[in-house]
A and B are shown apart, each in its own frame.
Chain A
Amino acid sequence: MEHVSAKGNFNLRGIVVRFGFLIVFALFFAFFATWNPVFISGNNLLNIVEGSAILMIIALGMTLIVATGGIDLSVGIALDFGAAFAVVAMKTYDMGWGSAVCAGLIGGSLVGLFNAALVVGLRISPFLATLGTFFIGSSVQRIFTNGGGPISHRRMPDGFRNIAQGDVFGIPSEVILAAVLVVIYYLVLERSVWGRRVHAMGMQRSASIVAGIRVNRILIACFVFASITCAVGGLISAANIRMFTPLSGFSYLLDAIAAVFIGAALHPRGRPNVLGTVAGVLFLGMVTNGLNLMGLNFNTKDALSGIILVSALALAVAQRNMRNADGD
C-alpha cells in the first residue's frame, strides 16, 4: 500500500504535487473571501479557528489510533462521557471545577479502557470493537438520561465555564487548549521514540513485534490517551452550552476521520500525522464557515459540504499517488 520512496521527495514535481492540496485550500479561501468580504475579517478567521477547536481535539485522538493501524468509531462516546461525568460531578456531587475536570477525564478514559480490553484482551478488530463500544455507549447514555434528554447545569462554577468561555490576551481558551494538545501530540507522536514505535506498529505490526516493541502495551496506552483527549473536547462542549447533551459526540466522527485521512494523504509516505490533521481540520472548518456565510439553505449547505468532502479526499489521494509514482 505505502511506498517508501528511497530517493526522497526533493524533485520539483514532488514539491508541486505535495502542495497541490494547499493550493486548493487557498483557492477555496479566495473564493469565500470574494463571495463575502466578512469571511476574511480577523474576527471571522478567529471564529473558524474557535469553531474547529473541538473537532481538532477529537481528530488528534483519531490520528493516534489510525497511526497504530486501527480506527476508533467511539470517539464521540468518549466526548459524551467526558461531558457527562463533569456535569454530573458538579451538579449532583457539588464538586469544584478542578475535581469536575478530573471526573470528566476519568469518564472518558473508561471508554478507552473498554476499547483496549476488547482490542487487546479479546483480539477483536478495532473497527468492530469500537463499533460495539459505540452501540453500548449510546445505550448507556439513553438509559442514564432516561431517553436522551439533556442535563443542564446553569450555575456552573466560573472556573469550569472558563474552559470554553474564558480567554487569555483575547485568545479564546478553547483555542489555547486545542493548540496545547496539538503541540503535545506533535512532540509525542512525531518527535519521540514512543511515537516512532506507534508508527512502526501501524506500518508493520509483526515486524515491530519481532523488533521487541511491546505492541499490546502501546495499544492500551493509545486507546486510553485518545479517549482522554476526546473527553477534553467534551469538557469544552459542556462548558460552552452549560449542559450535557447525550449522543452529541457522534457528529464529530466523520469529520474527524476525514481530517485524519486528508492529513495522511498530505504526508510524503501517506502516514497519518499531526500537522496533516491540523491542515485537514482547518480545511473542513473553513468550508463549513464559508458555506454558512454564503447564506445557503440548510439542506443545500449539507449537500455541498458532502460533495466537497468527497472531492477533497479524492484530490488528496490522487496527489499522493502521483507522488508515489515519482518516488518509484
Chain B
Amino acid sequence: MQANARHQKHALATFVGLLPLIIFLALLLYVGLNAPNFLTFMNLKLVLAQSLPVVLAVIGLSAVVMAGGDDVVSGGIDLSIPATAVLCAGIVAVITTAGLSLVLAAGAALVACMLVGGINALLVTLLRMTPLLTTLAMFVAVVGINNVITSRRRLDLTSDAIASLRQDFAFGLPLGIIIVGILVLISYHLLHRTKWGLNLQAAGGSRDAAEISGIRVNTLVAQSYLLAAFMGFVTGFFILARGNGYSPGTEDNLMLEMVLANFLGAAFSPRRVVTMWGAVLGAVLVAAISIGLKTIGVNVFWTDLIKGALIVTVVALSAISERVR
C-alpha cells in the first residue's frame, strides 16, 4: 500500500513537472489550429531563423549559470551578453560601412567583446562582486559605449558574407540555422560531455564541495564569462543578418528573451537545473510563441502580459513539483 502511495506521488510529481512543457505545446497547438499555416515546414524554419540570436546568447548564459550556481541574486548570471552582442554588431556595422574589410571588423569586435568578458570575470572572481549587479552595470556601460560608436543610427548591411547567413541555403536549410546547429552541438559536448564541463557544473552545484575536491572554481567561473562574451560576439553577426543591418535598441528585447529562455529551460529539465538543451528549447519556444501570437492576430499590447503570465506559471509549477516530490 505504502509503496503504491509513493508510486502515485511520484507519478503526480512527474506530471506536475511536465506541465510547463505541456502548457507550451498546448499554446502552440492552439495557435496552429487557429492559423493553419503556422505549423508548416516553411513557417517552422522562419521561427528557427528568428530564434537564432536568442539561442546563441542563451548558450553563453547557461554556461555562466552552470558555473556560478542557479540562485538568481547570488549565483552566476550574465545580463551583459545582449550588450556584448550589440557591441559586436555595432562595431562590425560601422567598420564595414566605412569600407574596410570584414576580417578587420570581426577582429576589432572580437577584441572588444572579450574585453567585456574579461572585465566581468575580473570583477566577479577577483572583487567578488555580485554577478547580477556587475553584469547589469556592464550592460549599461557597454550599451552606452556602443551608442557612442554608432551614434544611435540605423546602419544597413554592406557585407555579403553576413547576409549569406540568412539568404544562402545548404541541404535545404538556411546557412545560419546549420551553423548555429553545429555550435549548439559543440557547446553541448563542451558543457555536458567533457571533464571541463562537468567541473563547471560541479562548481555551480556546490562551490564549497567543488573547492574541497580540488576544482579551481574561480578559474572556471572566469572562463564561463569569457565563453559568454564569445557567444555574445557570435550573436552579433546573427543580429546583423536577421535585421539586415544594425538597428539601435535591439539589446532590450534580446535581454528579456534570453532570461526568459534560460529560466523556462530550467523549468523544462527533469531536475530543475539549467541545462543547455533546456535553454535552447526555451529559446526556440519563446520565439515560436512570439511569432505564433502575432500570426493569430493577438494585440501586441497583450504579448508582454502573456509572457509574464508564462514566467509566473512555469516557475510556480516547478516550485510546486519540487514540493510534491
Contact = CB atoms under 8 A, between A and B. Distances in A.
Interface stretch (B176-184, B195-203, B210-218, B303-311): B303-311
B144 to A, nearest CB: 3
Given A122-B319, A302-B147, A138 B73 contact: no
B301 A139 contact: yes
B72 A1 contact: no
Most chain B Cβ neighbours within 10 Å, of A69, A129, A146, A299: A299
Given A71-B73, A128-B263, A128-B311, A136 B144 contact: no
A254 B137 CA distance: 8
Contacts, number: 134
B151 A299 contact: yes
**Chain A: interface secondary structure?**
helix
Interface stretch (B123-131, B220-228, B278-286): B123-131
A261 interface: yes
A306 B299 CA distance: 35
B266 to A, nearest CB: 10
Interface string A104-139: 000000000000001000111111110111111111
Interface stretch (A36-44, A160-168, A313-321): A313-321
B48 interface: no
B129 A317 contact: yes
B312 interface: yes
Interface string B295-324: 000011111111111011001100110010
Contacts of B307: 135
Nearest to A121: B316
Contact of B304 (A1, A122, A138, A318): A138
A140 interface: yes
Interface range on chain B (Cβ under 8 Å from partner): 35 or more
A299 B143 CA distance: 10
A155 to B, nearest CB: 28
A125 B315 CA distance: 9
B148 A131 contact: no
B303 to A, nearest CB: 7
B28 interface: no
Interface in A250-296: 254, 257-258, 261
A191 interface: no
A318 B123 CA distance: 9
B304 A131 contact: no
B91 interface: no
B138 A310 contact: yes
B130 A299 contact: no
A126 B108 CA distance: 39
B191 interface: no
A305 B142 CA distance: 11
B133 interface: yes
Contacts of A302: 144, 147-148
Given A135-B304, A321-B128, A124 B315 contact: yes
A126 B319 CA distance: 13
A147 B301 CA distance: 6
B73 A70 contact: yes
B136 interface: yes
A303 B141 contact: yes
A258 B259 CA distance: 20
A131 B311 contact: yes
A314 B127 contact: yes
A135 B144 contact: no
A133 B308 contact: yes
A92 interface: no
A124 B310 CA distance: 13
A146 B184 CA distance: 41
A211 to B, nearest CB: 22
A155 B97 CA distance: 51
B319 A313 contact: no
A1 B71 CA distance: 14
B32 to A, nearest CB: 24
A139 B316 contact: no
A304 interface: yes
A261 B308 contact: no
A181 interface: no
Chain B CB count within 10 A is highest, among A135, A143, A258, A300, for A135
- Top-6 shortest CB links A-B: A135-B308, A306-B141, A139-B305, A303-B144, A139-B304, A306-B144
Given A300-B148, A309-B140, A314-B123, 20 more contacts: A1-B74, A122-B319, A123-B316, A124-B315, A125-B72, A127-B132, A132-B308, A139-B306, A142-B300, A143-B305, A258-B133, A299-B147, A306-B140, A306-B145, A313-B129, A313-B133, A313-B134, A313-B137, A314-B129, A317-B128
17 contacts: A124-B312, A124-B319, A128-B312, A129-B312, A131-B259, A132-B311, A136-B304, A257-B133, A261-B130, A303-B145, A306-B145, A310-B123, A313-B129, A314-B129, A317-B123, A317-B127, A318-B127
